Structure 1
Amino acid sequence: MRLAAKGLTAILSIMAIGAALSLPASPAFAGDDGNSKNVTEDEIVRALAPTNKKLLTRGLSIAPQAASASSAVETKLIQSVRGRSTRSLSSTEREEIASAAMDKPNIDLEITFDYNSANISTKSLTSVQALGRALTSPDLKGSTFVLAGHTDAAGGESYNQELSERRADSIKRYLVDKYSISATDLVTVGYGKSKLKDPAQPLSEVNRRVQVVNMENKTTASK
């Protein structure tokens, strides 16, 4: 009985917190209170290392042509968004980027920000610095990377969309300023709360993240 009471209390506490976070008056709580999990440079490099796409069987002899056509479409897309401001991307372009990034090497970074702002929190700087070192490493340097901002489901759609864009921009500025990465090699996009990592737990901190994707498209990257 005592355990059941404790369990009920915990559930009621979680429900109360969830209700508070969903109120329009407190949208700034989206993505502000999670614990940051720092990653290492090596972990990021391994996650973003280009994959070798090889023909597996003779029955797939048409695959190289299809792959070439797909690559051409992706190249055109990346060329069209490189150097663009995050807010200038249309919803269609955001979805096209998400589709092109689906089979690319990627990693989710749990990066927290200061309350009601896009300033990177002190406790997350270690992860962002590891990202900067990784992207300038010989294994990854020269590729085009997508920095996609995501929030949890707390707050309104427009607020979360704008917040995810500002936070993706914040990461980009840090990488450009501190690690001299070319701004045109970093494509920033925000998805707000539209692509929750864990839809079953919409307020979970795992949804508050910055996803980094190696588009493996050096033909469009800066020389």
Structure 2
Amino acid sequence: MLGVSGKRFSVLLSAVAIGAVFLFGLAQARAGDDNVTEDQIVRALAAPKKPLTRGLSIGRQADPAATEAEGKFVQSIRGRATRSLSTAEREEIATIAKDKPNIDLEITFDYNSANISAKSLPSVQALGRALTNPDLKGSTFIVAGHTDAAGGEGYNQDLSERRADAIKRYLMQSYGIAPADLVTVGYGKSKLKDPNQPLAEVNRRVQVVNMENKATASK
């Protein structure tokens, strides 16, 4: 039989074990919080609902000529290889993307590689489910790769392109998304999200932009 001290020791071990299980579960929950959900992606990328009334509209109206030119440009880059995009075309994509629904995903990759890390796979899977959602399916999406400022420009440009291509390839193979609906572009370290901290992890990201081109994408 256990004495008083033995009972106290047993109780202490039980408390430690319970505490360890609790902390492990909490750590898992926090790790899971890093992954974005399908619903979050859909809400971020869905086009704003257009008003049903025909009354006077408020705000700046879109220039029909500019809208047509934008549509033609989007069509011209559909189905293009990442490396075939010129610097001017990459900048045009970035300019258009500023006014489009978009989301930044913190997708990490294996070191010096374009292999998606196991940690980030749930976020990529959520992206795949979101892009096949009825609210988004059929649009043209930009998948833009970004790096931090470590390393040379050429190295980072190549790495960002390969990583954007890796995301596209996964979405095509796992979710059947049409290749032309995913336009990949790499920006290397040229467009840091936080220029004040050029080496920060926040700069290593994949940005997804909904170009809202369903009408032409379905042709």
With the length of structure 1 as denominator, give the TM-score of the two structures. 0.78
- In 2, the alpha carbon distance for the partners of 1:165 and 1:135 equals 20
For 1:110-139, what per-residue CA distance to the aligned partner results, in whole angstroms no more than 9, with x for missing partners?
000011110100110000000000000111
Q: Is the 8 A contact 1:104 1:213 kept in 2?
A: yes
Residue in structure 1 matched with residue 84 of structure 2 by the alignment: 88
Corresponding residue SS for 1:198: coil
Counterpart of 1:216 in structure 2: which amino acid? E
Picking from 174, 194, 198, the partner of 2:194 is 198
Residue in structure 2 matched with residue 137 of structure 1 by the alignment: 133
Structure 1: 5+ residue stretches without partners:
1-35
Structure 1 residues 200 and 132 mapped into 2: Cα distance closer, same or farther (>3 Å)? Answer: same
Residue in structure 2 matched with residue 153 of structure 1 by the alignment: 149
Corresponding residue SS for 2:125: helix
Picking from 108, 113, 119, the partner of 1:112 is 108
Residue in structure 2 matched with residue 37 of structure 1 by the alignment: 34
For 1:135-194, what per-residue CA distance to the aligned partner results, in whole angstroms no more than 9, with x for missing partners?
001111010000000000000001000100000000000000000000000000000000
- In 2, the alpha carbon distance for the partners of 1:217 and 1:74 equals 10
- In 2, the alpha carbon distance for the partners of 1:56 and 1:208 equals 45
Structure 1 residues 56 and 214 mapped into 2: Cα distance closer, same or farther (>3 Å)? Answer: farther
Structure 1 residues 56 and 124 mapped into 2: Cα distance closer, same or farther (>3 Å)? Answer: farther
Counterpart of 2:116 in structure 1: which amino acid? I
For 1:31-57, what per-residue CA distance to the aligned partner results, in whole angstroms no more than 9, with x for missing partners?
xxxxx9310000000000112456995
> Where do 1:209-220 residues align within 5 Å?
209-220=205-216
Residue in structure 2 matched with residue 128 of structure 1 by the alignment: 124
- In 2, the alpha carbon distance for the partners of 1:220 and 1:69 equals 17
State the aligned residue count: 185
Corresponding residue SS for 1:122: coil
> Segments of 4+ in structure 1 off by > 6 A?
none
- In 2, the alpha carbon distance for the partners of 1:175 and 1:59 equals 38
- In 2, the alpha carbon distance for the partners of 1:42 and 1:162 equals 31
- In 1, the alpha carbon distance for the partners of 2:210 and 2:96 equals 11
Residue in structure 1 matched with residue 61 of structure 2 by the alignment: 63
In terms of mean alpha carbon deviation, does 45-54 or 80-89 score higher? 45-54
Structure 1 residues 143 and 59 mapped into 2: Cα distance closer, same or farther (>3 Å)? Answer: closer
Structure 1 residues 56 and 192 mapped into 2: Cα distance closer, same or farther (>3 Å)? Answer: farther
Residue in structure 2 matched with residue 5 of structure 1 by the alignment: none
For 1:76-133, what per-residue CA distance to the aligned partner results, in whole angstroms no more than 9, with x for missing partners?
1111111110000000000001111111000000000011110100110000000000
Structure 1 residues 180 and 59 mapped into 2: Cα distance closer, same or farther (>3 Å)? Answer: closer
Structure with the larger RCO, 1 or 2 (CA within 8 Å, 6+ apart):
1
Counterpart of 2:140 in structure 1: which amino acid? T
Q: Is the 8 A contact 1:146 1:213 kept in 2?
A: yes
Corresponding residue SS for 2:154: helix
What fraction of aligned residue pairs are identical, expressed as a percent?
Answer: 73
Q: Is the 8 A contact 1:113 1:119 kept in 2?
A: yes
With the length of structure 2 as denominator, give the TM-score of the two structures. 0.80
Counterpart of 2:61 in structure 1: which amino acid? A
- In 1, the alpha carbon distance for the partners of 2:41 and 2:194 equals 22
